[in-house]
Each structure stands twice: as C-alpha cells, then as structure tokens.
Amino acid sequence: MNKLFAATILTMASLIPLGCGKVYNSSTYDASTYGSANGSANFLAAQAVIKTSCASCHTRPSHQAWGGLSEKDFIAQGLIKPASLANSTLYTKIQGNRTTVPGNMPDGGSLLTGADLDKMEAWIMGATP
C-alpha cells in the first residue's frame, strides 16, 4: 500500500508544472495576447509619449486603454500603419491635420512638442507589420 501511495503522490507531483503552462499570470496581462512591455527603442520612446500625453484620457471604460498596448495592438486596431504617417490615424490626430481625420489631439491640451512628434514619426516609420 505504501508503494502505491508513494507512486500516486510522485505522479501527481510531476503533473503540477503542467497545470497552467502560462509564463504570465492570466489575472494580469497575458503576453501572448496583449504583447509585452518590451519593444524597439523607437516604440518605447513613442510609448512614453503616449503614456504622458494620451493615456490619461484613452483609458477604460470610456476609451481603449492605450498605455498598455503593444506595437502589434496599435497596428491591429488601425491606429498606425507602418511606414506611412499619412495613413496613421494616431499620427494625423496628434499632428493637427484636420483634413482627413477630424479633431486634434490631445483634445483641449497643447499639441505635442516637435521632439515628441519626432519620436512618434520614428516609431511609425520603423514599425514592422
């Protein structure tokens, strides 16, 4: 009986690591679904601008939460088109172009500085689909 009990315990213990198989805690952010906090230097620089200038309004529940989006998410949602500033909705809004996309962002705030626009341009032009 003791051998059977020991074998059962060993078998169960060997299955414990297979229980979830996720690298991230699914109650927070799952990297396979939401991307990671990592990215190119250009994306990280642009993400800092977005967190500072956009994420205070673009947060749940009224807007999409932009502060935690990956580059892949920005592309999938049609907010940017890699290598095309003119076809990137996010860029035309922050640039102040009212001809193709109505309204300027940040709404009611100051337009982005030249340095911040440069960071956004570098990211979009260097983004990979």
Q: What is the pLDDT of residues 70-120, one digit of tens each?
A: 899 999 999 999 999 999 989 988 887 544 556 678 877 777 888 999 999
Q: What is the pLDDT of residues 53-71, one digit of tens each?
A: 887 787 766 566 777 788 9
User: In this predicted structure, what is the pLDDT of residue 26?
Assistant: 41
Q: How far is 124 from 85, CA to CA, in rounded Å?
A: 7
pTM (predicted TM-score)? 0.64
Q: What is the pLDDT of residues 89-98, one digit of tens each?
A: 899 888 875 4
* φ/ψ (deg, to 5) at 84: -140, 100
